[in-house]
A and B are shown apart, each in its own frame.
Chain A
Amino acid sequence: MAKITYIEHNGTEHVVEAEPGMTVMEAAVKNSVPGIEAECGGACACATCHVYVDPSWKDKVGAREDMEEDMLDFAFEVEDNSRLSCQIKVTAELDGLIVKVPEKQF
């Protein structure tokens, strides 16, 4: 299991135990973390599971793929550490991951 911390825009933290293999989006939705809408259900087709990866985790999480990069055009206030959480697979290496949830999904 990997521990993932989601920090809401207002600072509220949600610590979730995620099973390797699921996505960071799925772990959030399964544990009712507010602010991650995932309208399309994880098809990388809506950009409503946008998160900011804590800078210390950015490299471990890896780079965006082209499709995700395209889809981020539909997100708001995209930063260098912006990711779509449906495209981050949980692995044992991501134990301790911290992501920030934006104030609003589009």
Chain B
Amino acid sequence: MSLSEIETDVVIIGGGPCGLFAVFELGLLDLKCHVIDILDRPGGQCAELYPEKPIYDIPGMPVVTGQELTDQLLEQIKPFNPEFHFNQRVDALERQADDSFRLVTDDNQVFRTRVVVIAAGGGSFTPKRPPLPGIEDYEGTSVFYSVKRMEDFRDKNILVVGGGDSALDWVLNLLPFAKQMALVHRRDKFRAAPDSVNRMHAKVAEDAMQFHMGQVTQLHGNNGQLEGVTIKTTDGEIHHECDTVLPFFGLTMKLGPVAEWGLNLEQNLIPVDTEKFETSEPGIFAIGDINTYPGKLKLILSGFHEAALMSQAAHKIIRPDEKVVFQYTTSSSSLQKKLGVR
């Protein structure tokens, strides 16, 4: 089912620091933004990879963590009320006859916009696929990287692999549905919440499920139907029968559908000019880690600069008849009004 179409000035693909700051710069020019991100929250790599790690090269902030920077940016862009669409990936981007763009996400949300800003960093975060031979043949039939409907797992003989919160949560949540449940993790320490770990151990003690310490090394089955796996444990290899495997090994970045949008990629990066940070397709801009140009540095501060210049060019496309008078937030009453400080 297709949701109702959303019309906006700008769609920003990627809610990392550059995408967030683009909302600010576009907002100062009265341009309305929708931000789409595959993660379930804003911040991109800052939130996903290093929320608690310090960043030392944000101008004016001697030290700030990835999460703090994200939070500060969200505070900064609040006056512009950006609308976020999380857990969604843009699958299609097409230019329309009137030079606007039509975007469709994997949730079938459709956007119509004049300008697209790709701020997708290293690409979209996708679940890591264990490098087990032949695993592709089982994906979608016996191997799943996420659980959309628990009912789909009723009466299955499930093996969950991993030691974080996703792994433990799904062990406990799917246990009532499963015919059999087992967990494999490479060691006896878990990164998951201690309460979940205790509950899992209790279930093992009750014989409601199994726990194997080890690593899955082989998948066995036919025609996409899994019949079992080989688990390498410290005591040697064991065969474990199961028809469903849920591996939870975190996320990795993959370029994804961006590669199919005709943007003349160079080594998985989008070439742009350094005046407007526009791609080879007029109206499609790329800022932050995903773009490339002579001298490019993959720094957050470079992405901020790119966002500011891109916004000027985006404004010319969206409001061709309006002249932008350059103003400072320090002194301009109209900018201060937009920021809600006056």
Residues on A lying within 8 angstroms of B by beta carbon are 39-40, 43, 45-48, 69-70, 72-74, 76-78, 103-104, 106
Q: In the assembled complex, how far is the CB of residue A10 from the closest CB belonging to chain B, in whole angstroms?
A: 15
Please name all residues of chain A whose beta carbon is closer than 8 Å to the beta carbon of B50 when the two chains form the complex: 40, 43, 45
The residue in chain B whose Cβ has the minimal distance to the Cβ of A72 is: B186
The residue in chain A whose Cβ has the minimal distance to the Cβ of B51 is: A45
- Whether B49 is near chain A, meaning CB under 8 Å from some CB there, is yes
Please provide the chain B residues from 124 to 179 with a CB less than 8 Å away from any CB of chain A in the complex. 128-131, 162-164
B49 touches A43 (CB 8 A): yes
- Whether B215 is near chain A, meaning CB under 8 Å from some CB there, is yes
Given contacts A40-B50, A46-B252, contact A73 B215 (CB under 8 A): no
The residue in chain B whose Cβ has the minimal distance to the Cβ of A82 is: B186
15 new A-B contacts, CB < 8 A, other than A43-B53, A106-B249, are: A43-B49, A46-B250, A47-B250, A48-B252, A69-B189, A72-B186, A73-B162, A73-B163, A73-B164, A73-B185, A74-B128, A74-B250, A104-B131, A106-B129, A106-B252
A77 touches B215 (CB 8 A): yes
Q: In the assembled complex, how far is the CB of residue B125 from the closest CB belonging to chain A, in whole angstroms?
A: 11
Please name all residues of chain B whose beta carbon is closer than 8 Å to the beta carbon of A43 when the two chains form the complex: 49-50, 53
Question: What is the bound-complex CA distance between A44 and B138, given in angstroms?
Answer: 31
Please name all residues of chain B whose beta carbon is closer than 8 Å to the beta carbon of A45 when the two chains form the complex: 49-50, 53
- Whether B337 is near chain A, meaning CB under 8 Å from some CB there, is no
- Whether B228 is near chain A, meaning CB under 8 Å from some CB there, is no
20 A-B pairs, CB-CB below 8 angstroms?
A39-B252, A40-B45, A40-B49, A43-B49, A43-B50, A47-B250, A69-B187, A70-B191, A73-B185, A73-B186, A73-B187, A73-B191, A74-B128, A74-B250, A76-B131, A76-B215, A78-B186, A103-B131, A106-B249, A106-B252
Question: What is the bound-complex CA distance between A103 and B217, given in angstroms?
Answer: 13
Question: What is the bound-complex CA distance between A92 and B252, given in angstroms?
Answer: 34
- Whether B122 is near chain A, meaning CB under 8 Å from some CB there, is yes
Residues on B lying within 8 angstroms of A by beta carbon are 45, 49-50, 53, 122, 128-131, 162-164, 185-187, 189, 191, 215, 217, 249-250, 252-253
Please name all residues of chain A whose beta carbon is closer than 8 Å to the beta carbon of B215 when the two chains form the complex: 76-78
Please name all residues of chain A whose beta carbon is closer than 8 Å to the beta carbon of B253 when the two chains form the complex: 39
B49 touches A76 (CB 8 A): no
Please name all residues of chain A whose beta carbon is closer than 8 Å to the beta carbon of B164 when the two chains form the complex: 73
Summarize A's interface: helix, strand, loop or mixed: loop
Question: What is the bound-complex CA distance between A91 and B21, given in angstroms?
Answer: 40
Q: Which of A47, A48, A69, A76 is packed against the most chain B CB atoms within 10 Å?
A: A76
Question: What is the bound-complex CA distance between A14 and B185, given in angstroms?
Answer: 33
The residue in chain A whose Cβ has the minimal distance to the Cβ of B163 is: A73
The residue in chain B whose Cβ has the minimal distance to the Cβ of A37 is: B252
Closest 7 A/B residue pairs (Cβ): A104-B131, A45-B49, A43-B50, A74-B250, A40-B49, A106-B128, A70-B191
Q: In the assembled complex, how far is the CB of residue A4 from the closest CB belonging to chain B, in whole angstroms?
A: 25
Question: What is the bound-complex CA distance between A106 and B161, given in angstroms?
Answer: 14
B162 touches A46 (CB 8 A): no
Please name all residues of chain B whose beta carbon is closer than 8 Å to the beta carbon of A104 when the two chains form the complex: 131
Please name all residues of chain A whose beta carbon is closer than 8 Å to the beta carbon of B162 when the two chains form the complex: 73
Question: What is the bound-complex CA distance between A74 and B128, given in angstroms?
Answer: 9
Question: What is the bound-complex CA distance between A74 and B53, given in angstroms?
Answer: 19
Question: What is the bound-complex CA distance between A48 and B131, given in angstroms?
Answer: 12
Question: What is the bound-complex CA distance between A48 and B251, given in angstroms?
Answer: 11
Please name all residues of chain A whose beta carbon is closer than 8 Å to the beta carbon of B189 when the two chains form the complex: 69
Please name all residues of chain B whose beta carbon is closer than 8 Å to the beta carbon of A76 when the two chains form the complex: 130-131, 215
